Structures are given as C-alpha cells and as structure tokens.
A and B are shown apart, each in its own frame.
Chain A
Amino acid sequence: MAEAALPGSSSTASAAARRAVQNINAPLWRNAIFIAPYLLFFVTLLVVPLFWGIWLSLHKADAFGTGRFVGLDNYLRLFRDKIFLQAVGNTFYFVFLTVPALALIGLFLALALNRKTKTAAALRAVYFSSSVLSVTIVTLIWRIVFIGNFGLLATIYGWFGATAPAFLSDPKLTMIGIAIATVWWCIGLPMMLFLSALQQVPQEIYEAAALDNASRWRTLWHITLPSIRRTFVLVIIIEIVLQFQLFGQARLMTQGGPNNVSKPIVLYIYEAAFTKWDLGLGAAASEILFILIMIAALAQYFISRRKGVEG
C-alpha cells in the first residue's frame, strides 16, 4: 500500500500494487479457513442429518439397519394414522395455549418489574429461576402438585372437602396441566426479552409524555407498547418454534395420555422410532414437524423484514 502511494514507480509495479489493493476486499479462498470450524460442525451436525433424515423417511428402516426403499409410503401411512393427525392437532392446541400466555404474562411481568428497586431485581431473579431447571425437575414438581389424592392441589382442595381437578388424567385438562407447567418453566425468556426492549425505549419520550400530562394508560398504549412491538413479534415467533417441540413435559407428566389427547408430534416421533422401532415412520413425522416449524420461522423472516422497511 505504501508502495502504491509512491510516485514515479514503473507501470507494472503499480498495476501489481493495484491488484493487491483490490484483493483486500475481494473474495479469497483462504478466508474460508475462518469459518471452517463453524462450517464443519454446521455441516456434520445439521446439514448431513437433515438430508439423512429425509433419506431415512423414504425407507422402511429400524435402528439396526437401513432397510428398503419405500418411496412416500411412510408419509401416506402418517396421513392415514389417526393418532398422528391427533398429535398434530394436540401440538397446535398446545401452542395456542402456551404462546399467548407466555407473551402476555411475560409482558406483564416485564412491565411490573422494570424498575431499579431491590425488590424488582430479586423478583426478576425469582421469575427467571424456573428457566434454569431441567424438564425432569419441572415435571417432578408439577406432578407433585397435580397428582390425585396426595398432591398439593388435592390437599388444598381437601381442606374444603372438594375434589381437585385431575390435571394428569382428565382428557379435558391434561393439555392445560402441561401448559401450566410449561408457562411456569418458560416464562423467564420472554420476560427478559421484554425487559431488555423496555430498557431501550428512550427516556425522553416518557419525559415528554409526562410534561404533556399523559395518563399511565395513554403512556403504556401510545408509547411503551408501540416501541416494543418488534420484540413482541420476536417473542411470539420464538415461542411458537420452541413450543412446537413439546416433548419432555408430555412424556414425563402424562405419557401422552389419556387416549393420546396430550401426545405432541415429537412424542409420536419418539415412540415410532424407539418403541415401535419404525425409524422410517419416525423420520417422516420429523420432516412434517420440520416443515411446520420452517413455516413459523419464515413467518418471522417476512414479518421482521416488513417491519424493517416500515421502520
């Protein structure tokens, strides 16, 4: 570069120097080394399994051999399988139960705890603390609450001589029971996302609103909520993608029962692959779940892009 700046050098030298200058920003193969470590794991742990899964879903296979090619047979079996269709329905129902609750309760907690007091800091930690527990612990806690005759709920109802609702065995209540446990478990993340969004709203706007004598409601409705609307969309999309993958809670709290009313898609996949040893069928069901989640992820992409243009 210094050479290029020197006057009076020969034309070939300056041409070479110019090339060197251009090459700094030009694509270079050796730059790939920087992303190679990431790429290696991305390809081996994500891309290869993705295509392997698609390949498996076209086979009649168990865990001990590749089996034979059956084309789309596994997919046709899925669409004829009442339990699978029920599992898809259950999953949507669960997303419908949890996502709005997580978004609204998360927002409410964030609004309530967005202050600089010690109590608020302590409560933030308390509400977030459930998120660090493993699914096993979470379901254990909620089983102790819900279980008939001996559970916390049954004990409390017992004081009033009433029978507690059977959240683990009543077909109308099991999904709601799982949703309650899930919201309790997952509330930390949306709360934190909302808190960080709230803290980014410029303080001057609130000062201006205060000078205009705006009521708390008006401030909330016209300043706070519009300012965090992109975070709201983000929370909704993240939670849809996460809650579509419901597995552990249903497996450990109800085993998908009774009568399969709380069996989500992932539990169906697990049972197909590991209990029935029908790996091809499980892989086909995974591809359907993949497509469902991809639709949710694409929705996020398009919505955030539209907002970006507007903003």
Chain B
Amino acid sequence: MTHTLRRFMLTAASVLALTAAAPALAATELTVQRFFGACDAEFGTNTDASKAVGECGIMTSLINKFNADNPDVHVTVTTVEWPGYDQLTAQFAAGDPPDIVTIHHSVLGDYQSKGLLMGLDDLLKSVGVAPSDFTEASLSGVTKDGQIYALPIDNWTMLFHINMDLFKKAGLVNADGTPKLPTSVDELMAQAKEFKEKTDKPYFVQNLANEVALYTRNLYTYLFQQDSGAFADPKLVKINTPEAKKVLEMYKAIYDNDYTTKDMDYAAGINAFLAGEGGVHLNGTWVIGDYTASSETPGTALNAGGYAVYPYPQLFSGKKAQYADGHSWAVSQKDRTPEEEAAIGKFLKFFNDNDFEWSRTGHLPAVKAVLGSEEFKALPHRDTISAVATLGTPLPSTVQRQFAIQDIIGQEMNAAVTGQKEIDAALADMESRINDLLANI
C-alpha cells in the first residue's frame, strides 16, 4: 500500500515537473482583444491578408499570419462586440486586462489618464518604428502628454456612399459622370426632393434605430463646418447653440419629408443600401472594401450603375472639415518579462509593416509612406476620398468620456429628429447631461 502510494506520488511529481518545465519551451503567450467582428467561418485559417475583404477578414488574416510567421509567440484573440469599452473597463477594474487591445484615438485619453496604458515610445523605438513614420493625424491621435500610448493603425471618417444607378435615375449626375452633391442645406433638400420624386426612394439610407454614433458624428461634422466652438472648454460644453439647432433642424426636415429610411438599425441600414433602397448611405470608411466588392458582383444593386464614395459635402460657410477618429493598438500596463515585451513589440511592428493591407478596408493608413504610395493610390475610390486626410478633424483630445458623450448626443438627437422632443429641449438636455457627466469625472 505504502509502496503503491509512493509510486503514485513520484509519478504525480514527475508529471508536475514536466508541466512546469513546458512553458519554458513553449511560445510566449499574448492576449489580444479586438472589435471588428468575427468571421472565422470565412477567414479562420486564411493567412494571406491580400485575399481577404473587409475589416474583419483582413484583421483575422493578419493575426493568423502573425501567428504563422512567429512560432515563438502565440497570440490568442478575444473578439468583443463593438466598441467593447464596458468590458475593457471591467477587465481593468478586475486587474485582468488583455495585453493588447483595440482602442479609438478618442477614447485613449480615458484609460491613459488613469495610468492603465503602457507608454510605447521605448518599445516602438526598439523595434524600429519612429514617431515620424506616422501621419500627423495618427500621431496626434495617440500622443498624450508628449508620449505615444498606442500604435495607430488608421484614421477613419464618415462618408457619402452613393448608389450611382439611382443617382442617374434622379438626374443628379454631372457631365463627367460624377454625382451631383449639394453645397448648401437648401440644395441638399432640393436634391433629396428631386431624388424622391424621380426614384420613389429616399435620398438617404440611415440607421436611425438603436443608434447613437451616426447622429453624433453627423452633428460634429456640421458643427465643425460652422466653426462652432462647442468643445472649446473640455470641461464645459456649449452645444445648446444656434449652430447645433441648424443641424438638428436639417436632419429633422430630412426625416419629416421621408428623405431617409427610418426604423433601421446598423445591419439593416447596410442591407438596405446593398439592396438599392436609397441613394446615399451614411457610413464609415470601413465599408468601402465590402461595397466595392459588391459593386463588382454582377446582379447587385451597386453593380447596376456603379458605386461612388465621397466625403461629406460642405454645407456651411465655415472651415472645410468633417469629424474623424482612428483605431489603434494599445498595450495594458502590467508587469511583464522581457520576452513578453519583445513579443508585443513584434506584434506592433507587424501591424505597422502591414498597414497597407489594413488600409484596403477603406481606412486611411496611419503610416505616412503607405498614404503616399502608388499602391495605396491605386486602390478603388482613393482619389475621391483622399481629401479626408486634410478634412478629418477629431474632437479635442482633452475631452474625456467621448463614448459616453456620444451616447447622450445620440439619444437626444434621435429624440429631436424623430419628433419625440422639441429641438430646443433636446439641445438643452444634451448640454446639461454632458456637463453633468464631465463635472463628475
């Protein structure tokens, strides 16, 4: 009995010793958390990013490639629902954040100001990535207190995605074949009216249900175009202004006159545009790749007359601008071994080197050399949207809790546009709710 027991103990001990020794031989483990959706069925094993389409496909393929190219590092990916910040906050609070995580430039300050993110100046330098490699917009998006806190991978903005077939039917095409876009609010209304009369379809495809981001980005863009200083004081927002009222009145008129689809959520909006249910879809740079692919498929609504994409038209007399933000990889603050830090450096360098593949999604590249490259310029529609590089304007980075602010603006603007609330009341509530939020940080 004792003998059996001793043998058992010895076996157990040797098994334990083996398992303990194993990590020394195994690859360095990194946990990566990202949004951009899940598409493992289609791209789960693909390692050639150039064969992938769309944000999810390219992201999945790039990480697959990184794992294949680097046997000494193993990246485990957790995909979260966009934008995933509630979960990330909870993970940080519990002391269990992922190593590397996707963060919008606009949100970086929230986590950085709490000391939760690792400054990356030295790490990027060690793998040969210099701050001067990045475009100005990207670099300023990830720099806080003079230090880089994330690897920028793109800048994005919202765009007019256009169904040219319907635009032709509506007679809204210039002699050179480009779409006729409005230059003022009145012109927009007139064109939308004409569009509706000739095609019997709404001018805009918008996702107005269960949505806050679209409203907010639209408002920001047209506030910028009126030189409104709504966020001049990052602690005291002034948004109950005549400028904001003009924007809300415009979107309410679009809604009231049925110049837009109604009651659609984000997914339904995309489906509606792809099915040819309206002329202009308001969505971001990230769908360009998918929409271009659809327009090249015979039989689709976008194939019928073509697909075009443009920055938001300048409707007001102020600065030429539109709201922009960007994506980046941030690294959580943790005690790490030199191997782990080196592995993170490799991962960041890999994404920096493959920024062209990522820019195929439609986003503007974060790497200057890619933005200027022939290869990038040769991608479809980059000629029409390249202006965004100079138009793109983020909120001042000193404004904290930008996603919480987005919720408030989206809710109030939705209420005003759909007629549940007077515009003045919505703007007053918007301002007081945002300032209450900012006063209690």
Q: How far is the CA of A261 from the CA of B414 in the complex (A)?
A: 12
| A258-B415 in contact (CB<8A) | yes
Q: Are B268 and A150 in contact (CB under 8 A)?
A: yes
Give Cα distance in the complex from A171 to B208, angstroms: 13
Q: Count A-side interface residues using an 8 Å CB cutoff.
A: 34
Say yes or no: A168 contacts B263, CB within 8 Å.
yes
Q: Is the beta-carbon distance between A149 and B90 smaller than 8 angstroms? A: no
Determine which of A63, A147, A260 lies in contact with B89 in the assembled complex, contact meaning CB atoms within 8 Å: A63
Q: Give the residue name and chain of the A residue nearest to B209 (CB).
A: A169
Query: Which residues of B have CB within 8 Å of A38?
Result: none
Chain A residues closer than 8 Å to B110, beta-carbon distance: 277
Q: Do residues A259 and B210 form an inter-chain contact, with CB atoms below 8 A?
A: no
3 nearest interchain CB pairs? A63-B93, A169-B209, A148-B263
CB-CB nearest in chain A for B90: A274
**CB–CB B420/A259 < 8 A:** yes
Query: Is A254 interfacial (CB-CB < 8 Å)?
Result: yes
The answer to whether A166 and B263 touch across the interface, beta carbons within 8 angstroms, is yes
A255 at the binding interface (Cβ < 8 Å): yes
| B129 beta carbon closer than 8 Å to chain A | no
A118 to chain B, nearest CB (A): 39
A62 to B85, CA, bound (A): 14
A149 in contact with B418 given A83-B433, A274-B90 (CB within 8 Å): no
Given A63-B93, A149-B263, A169-B210, 16 more pairs with CB closer than 8 A: A60-B440, A77-B440, A147-B264, A147-B265, A148-B263, A149-B261, A149-B272, A168-B210, A169-B208, A258-B411, A270-B86, A274-B89, A275-B86, A276-B401, A276-B404, A277-B441
Complex Cα distance A274/B86, Å?
Answer: 5
Closest-by-CB residue of B relative to A163 is B263
The smallest beta-carbon distance between B110 and chain A, in angstroms, is 8
- Write the A227-254 contact mask toward B (1 if CB under 8 angstroms, else 0): 0000000000000000000000000011
Is B271 in contact with chain A by the CB < 8 A criterion?
yes
Residues of chain A within 8 A of B89, CB atoms compared: 63, 274, 277
* Most chain A beta-carbon contacts within 10 A, residue among B89, B90, B436, B440: B440
Q: Specify which chain B residues have a CB less than 8 angstroms from the CB of A257 in the assembled complex.
A: 209-210, 212, 411, 414
On chain A, the residues within 8 Å of B265 by CB distance are 143, 147, 168
The answer to whether the Cβ of B391 comes within 8 Å of any Cβ in the partner chain is: no
Chain B interface (Cβ within 8 Å of chain A)? Answer: 85-86, 89-90, 92-93, 110, 114, 116, 208-210, 212, 261-265, 267-268, 271-272, 277, 401, 403-404, 407, 411-412, 414-415, 418, 420-421, 429, 433, 436-437, 440-441
In whole Å, how far is A198's beta carbon from the nearest beta carbon of chain B? Answer: 41
Are B420 and A258 closer than 8 Å at their CB atoms?
Answer: yes
Give A258 Cβ to nearest chain B Cβ, in Å: 5
Cβ of A159 under 8 Å from chain B? no
Q: How far is the CB of B299 from chain A (nearest CB, A)?
A: 19
- Interface residue SS majority, chain B: helix
The answer to whether A281 has its CB under 8 Å from any CB of chain B is yes
CA A281 to CA B404, docked complex, whole Å: 15
Q: In the complex, A270→B85 CA distance in Å? A: 12
The residue on A at minimum CB distance from B272 is A149
Q: How far is the CA of A259 from the CA of B262 in the complex (A)?
A: 15
User: With A63-B92, A169-B210 in contact, do A258 and B414 touch (Cβ < 8 Å)?
Assistant: yes
| Cross-interface CB contact of B264 among A148, A171, A260, cutoff 8 Å | A148
A-chain residues with CB within 8 Å of residue B114 when the two chains form the complex:
62, 64
The 8 Å CB contact of B93, one of A64, A275, A276, A278, is: A64
Q: A271-B407, A275-B404 are in contact. Are A64 and B116 (CB under 8 A)?
A: yes
- State whether B268 touches A147 (Cβ < 8 A): yes
A167: nearest residue on chain B (CB-CB)?
Answer: B263
A-B contact pairs, 15 of them (CB 8 A): A63-B92, A63-B93, A77-B436, A143-B265, A147-B264, A147-B267, A169-B209, A169-B210, A255-B212, A259-B412, A259-B420, A261-B420, A276-B404, A277-B401, A278-B437
Least distance between A269 CB and chain B CB atoms (Å): 12
